[in-house]
């Protein structure tokens, strides 16, 4: 049998080595440097979020909504001085011991809503006029405000249940807030001190799945008549951890 010599074998090995070097140089030139490749450099693609009931996530977006509520402060000490203007129980005839500076948060909150629902972008209806118009401004009552301003506000939701869980509060109030429905919240401290503020917006995320759309509220925007810097539910709950009154008012202008 004829046997190929070592010269032939050396030629074949040399041809193989040349071919491999040529292929390696082609990959290197094209940017696919095999010698520099490692598993750790592979960037994994994120998995699509899927739920057995909702299906797979198609898209999601976040909204940060604030309605144009003109802020009223109960803390003015000049022009006018709310320390000298007292609230009353019977259209101003009998005054109670609390002045607007210390206890006018509910009156100030309602003044904000009346201005907003009338479409004003500046302070038009004064806090003192609302104080004088409401039958009893010493004790917050949604019926007194509705009777005083029947063409402006009408409650659409009321709750006197006490809530302390932020997530529960967000999911209860958030879906009720829109351009024609804002809310007044009654909050209190662990020692029983109370306060009233306006809910004037929200932050929410909408997740669109194959079978349903899920809306999750992460924050409520607050307009606080006693502290303009306390402008979110989170900041409010840090000082007043209990929400004990929720009054959502509808614009009927």
Closest to 220 (Cα-Cα) out of 198, 196, 188: 198
Q: Which phi and psi (to 5°) does residue 76 adopt?
A: -65, 140
pTM exceeds cut of 0.85: no
pLDDT digit string (tens) for the chain, length 253 residues = 444 444 444 444 454 444 444 444 444 434 433 333 333 344 444 567 899 999 999 999 999 999 999 999 999 999 999 999 999 988 778 888 899 999 999 999 999 999 999 999 999 999 999 999 999 998 888 888 999 999 999 989 999 999 999 999 999 999 999 999 999 999 999 999 999 999 999 999 999 999 999 999 999 999 999 999 999 999 999 999 999 999 999 988 7
Burial of 127 (0-12, 13-18, 19+ CB in 10 A): buried
| Predicted pLDDT of residue 95 | 87
Tokens of residue 160, six digits: 């006197």
In CATH, what number does 55-251 get?
Answer: 3.90.70
Question: In the chain, where are the structural domains located?
Answer: 55-251
pLDDT of residue 46: 54
């Amino acid at each position: 049998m004829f046997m190929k010599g070592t010269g032939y074998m050396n030629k074949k090995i040399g041809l193989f080595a040349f071919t491999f070097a040529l292929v390696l140089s082609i990959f290197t030139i094209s940017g696919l440097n095999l010698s520099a490749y490692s598993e750790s450099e592979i960037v994994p693609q994120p998995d699509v979020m899927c739920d057995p009931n909702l299906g797979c996530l198609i898209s999601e977006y976040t909204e940060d909504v604030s309605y144009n509520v003109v802020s009223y402060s109960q803390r003015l000490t000049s022009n006018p001085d709310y320390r000298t203007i007292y609230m009353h129980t019977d259209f101003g005839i009998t005054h109670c011991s609390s002045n607007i500076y210390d206890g006018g948060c509910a009156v100030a909150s309602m003044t904000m809503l009346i201005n907003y629902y009338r479409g004003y972008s500046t302070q038009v209806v004064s806090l003192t006029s609302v104080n004088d118009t409401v039958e009893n401004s010493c004790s917050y009552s949604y019926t007194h405000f509705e009777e005083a301003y029947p063409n402006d506000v009408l409650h659409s939701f009321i709750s006197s249940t006490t809530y302390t869980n932020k997530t529960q509060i967000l999911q209860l109030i958030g879906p009720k807030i829109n351009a024609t429905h804002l809310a007044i919240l009654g909050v209190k401290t662990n020692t029983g001190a109370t306060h009233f503020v306006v809910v004037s917006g929200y932050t929410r995320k909408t997740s669109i799945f194959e079978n349903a759309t899920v809306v999750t509220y992460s924050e409520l925007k607050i307009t606080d008549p006693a502290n303009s810097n306390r402008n979110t539910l989170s900041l409010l709950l840090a000082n007043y951890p209990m929400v004990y009154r929720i009054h959502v008012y509808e614009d009927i202008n």
